Amino acid sequence: MDGSGEQPRGGGPTSSEQIMKTGALLLQGMIAAVDTDSPREVFFRVAADMFADGNFNWGRVVALFYFASKLVLK
């Protein structure tokens, strides 16, 4: 890729699209492994781990909300 922002020849996915797909698959696997009897405990444990280092930013907040939505839909 030459940095022009254009898709590579052949119409394949860009690296950011591939990262998003990989992340979604990993998240689906983690959600599938969650014990459905304790989703609240899982949510609070994930939230505590995400912010354990004391760094708060919008990316982490959005990720936590996304995780919560997937957990609820399970």
Instruction: Write the pLDDT tens digit of every residue in 34-55.
Output: 777 788 888 898 899 989 999 9
DSSP 70: H
Q: Is residue 46 part of a domain?
A: yes
pTM equals 0.61
Average pLDDT over residues 3-22: 71
Total domain count, the chain:
1
Domain limits for position 60: 36-74
CA distance linking residue 25 with residue 37, whole number of Å: 23
Q: Is residue 12 part of a domain?
A: no
Name which of 34, 36, 37, 44 is nearest 64 in CA terms. Answer: 44
Q: Is residue 24 part of a domain?
A: no
Asked whether the predicted pLDDT for residue 12 surpasses 80, the reply is no
